[in-house]
Amino acid sequence: MRAFILDRYGSKVALRAGELPDPEVRADDVLVQVHAAGVNLLDSKLRSGEFKLILPYRVPFVLGHDVAGVVVRVGARVTRFKPGDEVYARPSDHRIGTFAELIAVQENDLALKPKNLTMEEAASIPLVGLTAWQALVERGQLAAGQKVFIQAGSGGVGTFAIQLAKHLGATVATTTSTSNVDMVRGLGADVIVDYKTEDFEARLSGYDLVLHSQDGKALEKSLRVLRPGGRLVSISGPPDPDFAKEIGAAWFVRLFTRLLSFGTRRRAKRHDTTYSFLFMKASGDQLGRIAALIEAGAVRPVVDKVFAFQSTNEALAYVETGRAKGKVVIKVT
């Protein structure tokens, strides 16, 4: 199969177009012909080696965390899928590799593709959809009538999270640039802070939940816009001890995350709030629920650009600019 391969770690290293053997299909695996693959900032961070401590991939390997495609073959124990099914997924960690023509995905990580989406639209959903679901529903326990602050509303996670929060009945605040105000308002944002001209801490207060995706300075201010008892869920760090325990990290990694997040956890406690770090997990069950919301019209994909497979490096470079409105997708087949 054709694939884009990372031969060595480095922030400016180009992926190499090459041939690889077709994936091995285990008893619980589904072999998927990749029609489209989403591109995420996570791919760039993995390439640079930023997550080597917690995700020690051995080079060479293939990047790519979102897939939409067609089932080619199923393993002996697979019962929920058959050849010809149109599916989508975020493969689990250590099983990534959607910048390729084929990928073997564990059955429990896979779901049927939303019927009303193209392959490119479907490939834009898994990572950001699961991140938003796990941050707002699982961790945040967001309920109707509550207030949530979702940072970077025009980004991949933000565009999905705004819509999900509105579906849940929350009042949604977000930050964006002047040029994207109308877009995030169209997604359902109630309070919009133009980060180029306004300070969100001066506008927001008494919030039940913050979905933090920015830097440390924004994290400090975000704790102060929460009400007593409010929650902050961060997808940009710092990692905390609960995360290290969850992934079964070695003792030195647990110690490192404890030290790294100590100040943040102490400040959260001082404000009578809670802090947690989220590194989303693959889940076919949650993708099934998300597909139902999409088919019902409650959430829609936001795709900025679609690149051809041969332009995978260009797609990754575009994501790294931080200017994408929604998601960037590679059309593979």
Let me know whether 262 and 133 are in one domain. Answer: yes
> Is residue 194, in this structure, part of any structural domain at all?
yes
Let me know whether 41 and 157 are in one domain. Answer: no
Let me know whether 111 and 149 are in one domain. Answer: no
> Is residue 289, in this structure, part of any structural domain at all?
no
**How confident is the model over 87-123, as pLDDT tens digits?**
999 999 999 999 999 999 999 999 999 999 999 999 9
Let me know whether 266 and 139 are in one domain. Answer: yes
Q: Indicate the length of the chain as a whole number.
A: 333
Let me know whether 132 and 266 are in one domain. Answer: yes
Cβ atoms of residues 240 and 275 within 8 Å: yes
Let me know whether 111 and 172 are in one domain. Answer: no
> Is residue 292, in this structure, part of any structural domain at all?
no
Residue 237 scores a pLDDT above 90: no
Domain extent, residue 144, equals 127-277
Let me know whether 63 and 142 are in one domain. Answer: no
Residue 53 scores a pLDDT above 90: no
> Is residue 84, in this structure, part of any structural domain at all?
yes
Other C-beta atoms lying within 10 Å of the C-beta of residue 320? 18
What pLDDT, on the 0 to 100 scale, is given for residue 182? 97
3-state secondary structure of 245: helix
Let me know whether 148 and 231 are in one domain. Answer: yes
Let me know whether 75 and 148 are in one domain. Answer: no
> Is residue 296, in this structure, part of any structural domain at all?
no
Let me know whether 103 and 156 are in one domain. Answer: no
User: For residues 122 and 160, what is the distance between their CA atoms, to the nearest angstrom?
Assistant: 13
**How confident is the model over 282-330, as pLDDT tens digits?**
999 999 999 999 999 999 999 999 999 999 999 999 999 999 999 999 9
**How confident is the model over 14-51, as pLDDT tens digits?**
999 999 999 999 999 999 999 999 999 999 999 999 98
**How confident is the model over 180-230, as pLDDT tens digits?**
999 999 999 999 999 999 999 999 999 999 999 999 999 999 999 999 999
> Is residue 290, in this structure, part of any structural domain at all?
no
**How confident is the model over 120-159, as pLDDT tens digits?**
999 999 999 999 999 999 999 999 999 999 999 999 999 9
CATH of residue 182: 3.40.50.720
Sign (positive or negative) of CA dihedral 87, 59, 46, 249 = positive
Let me know whether 115 and 140 are in one domain. Answer: no
CATH of residue 310: 3.90.180.10
Look at the chain and report how many structural domains it folds into: 2
User: For residues 263 and 174, what is the distance between their CA atoms, to the nearest angstrom?
Assistant: 25
Let me know whether 133 and 102 are in one domain. Answer: no
